[in-house]
Structure 1
Amino acid sequence: MSWIDIGALEDIPVQGARVIKTKMGCVAVFRTADDAVFALSDRCPHKGGPLSEGIVHGHKVTCPLHNWVFSLETGEAQGADEGQVPTYDLRVEAGRLLIDASKLAAQSAA
């Protein structure tokens, strides 16, 4: 894996998100109430809504456009909704967020 520093954990509000822009599109980085962090594509597969503007609850996010709910852990739609958003490996080291760039590079090369 190839890890890239994308910022400080404290830059993301609890139960909030920030967006990082990549060549393949935007990635939403979420922080939950229990300080877990997750990275998903910022685009809902239903209507393209910005998931980074959704409501974070537990380890889920609700799309702001049509209330689809996605697992932050797997990217899978929850309940009656069907779909999935790509997820990205993310870790915290000494208060810094690191994302695995290898998946981003693989997608932009395709």
Structure 2
Amino acid sequence: MRQKVGIALAIAKESKVLLLDEPTSGLDPKSSNEFMALLTKMKNNGVAILMATHDLFRAKEVSTHIGIMRSGVLQNYSNSKDVSLKELETIYLDIMNFKNVS
């Protein structure tokens, strides 16, 4: 609920920048989908959005650029158009030293 209020305030104040930390955490799939549609609309209206998330699907869906950090250090930076979701997942798993389950 706090995140929804924060977004409502950002819209009401016509904010030009949003800083979000795991914005879909705790949302059901329908609400998450609606929230990401709202972010996409805001992005298309010139709002800059910096979002920290572990949700690669949502990051790829809404972003123009994706950075992957580990221990506070940027390990990879990609243009969202230049990387597929599968490639992004592989990059993330490699950086985090997780084994890719195929």
**TM superposition score normalised by structure 1:** 0.29
Larger Rg: 2
**TM superposition score normalised by structure 2:** 0.30
Determine which structure has the larger helix proportion and give its number: 2
Greater relative contact order structure (CA < 8 Å, 6+ sep)? 1
